[in-house]
Amino acid sequence: MSLSRNQVLGEMGLSPQWILRETRAVARGEKRAKSSILPAPMHKAEQFLAGVAEKMPASGAERSAPIAQLGWDGLRQRIAGCRDCALCGERKQAVAGVGDENADWLFVGEGPGAEEDARGEPFVGPAGKLLDAMLAAIDLTRGEDVYIANAVKCRPPSNRTPEAAEMAACAPYLKRQIALLQPRLIVLLGRAAVHALLGEDGSLASLRGKPLAYRDGERDIPVVVTYHPAYLLRTLPDKAKSWEDLCRARALMRSLKP
Ligand code: URA
């Protein structure tokens, strides 16, 4: 990332009043054993996924178990060939995710858009440029200690919001990515990502700043919710709120103990 700090903050519409003082090393903290615990209820996500699973054909619900056994290569292949929901019909390619497979940070968006569908990488269009600026503002770089994925791996037609059943069909992939990655912190970008992973259907405004967590096996992974970059491109005043969320995420990451 060659942008200067001021350019990054300018990109986020925050310049000049927000200035980070800490260094990159402090911002990212020491690499710690990945066993941090944050108490948070997960019952809504479980209810959501169980409810949707009931409505899926038996073969749909049963497909989660083999996906949960896959390694990164197998998972990428499974996603690339997936035909488990209608979204496969119009995609150029499935977009699994990108980044450091040992990353502490996981950012989750909604689903690929046109450019992502064409290039096979998440967040490479205009929203992706803003996401890169958001990462840079907290001293992170795509691909370095950061993994980026989406709630759904195939582009919804006309970039519509993915439907609940589509997100549920794709949920085993995101869950497996999380299990393999073991991130310390998950940042959910926008309401669809929150709904897909936590089953929370409230407004983003009502969820921002709340202590949330995603349950992965025996472990609760802290979750920070913020606005989707595409929304921020349309709603400039909320960039300041997103900046607050990123600072909260950064502070949370630093506070996590081994
Ligand atoms: N929006 C998303 O949610 N994900 C992408 O990959 C691109 C745009």
Q: Which residue type is seen at 182?
A: Q
The pLDDT of residue 63: 84
Structure token pair of residue 24? 């990159």
Confirm or reject: Cβ of 132 under 6 Å from ligand 1.
no
Q: Is pLDDT of 33 > 80?
A: no
What does the DSSP 8-state code read for residue 86? Answer: G
Q: Is 111 in the pocket of ligand 1 (CB under 6 A)?
A: yes
* Structure-token pair, residue 112: 């690929």
Closest atom of ligand 1 to 121 CA is: 6
Has residue 57 got a pLDDT over 60?
no
Residue 53 pLDDT > 90, yes or no?
no
- Report how far residue 203's alpha carbon sits from residue 197's, in angstroms, rounded to the nearest whole number: 15
Atom of ligand 1 nearest to the CA of 116: 6
218: Cβ–Cβ under 8 A, 6 or more apart, which residues? none
Determine phi and psi for 135, rounding to 5 degrees: -60, -45
- Among 87, 123, 153, 188, the mutation site with the greatest number of ligand 1 atoms within 8 A of its Cβ is 123
Distance of CA 150 to the CA centre of its chain: 6
d(CA 21, CA 248): 15
pLDDT of residue 62: 81
Is 152 near ligand 1, meaning CB less than 6 Å away? no
How far apart (Å, rounded) are the C-alpha atoms in residues 257 and 240? 28
The 10 Å Cβ neighbour count of residue 30 is 8
CA of 160 to the centre of ligand 1 (A): 11
Domain 42-255: which CATH number of 1.10.760.10, 3.30.830.10, 3.40.50.300, 3.40.470.10: 3.40.470.10
Beta strands in the chain, from DSSP E residues, in sequence order: 97-99, 105-109, 146-150, 185-189, 212-216, 219-226
Domain spans of the chain?
Answer: 42-255
How many other C-beta atoms are found inside a 10 Å radius of the C-beta of residue 251? Answer: 13
- Whether residue 122 has its Cβ less than 6 Å from ligand 1: yes
What is the per-residue pLDDT across 113-122, written as a single tens digit (0 to 9) for each?
999 999 999 9
Residue 8 makes CB contacts below 8 A (sequence gap 6+) with 1, 133, 136, 137
pLDDT per residue as tens digits for the range 191-231: 999 999 999 999 999 999 999 999 999 999 999 999 999 99
Q: How many other C-beta atoms can be found within 10 angstroms of the C-beta atom of residue 57?
A: 9
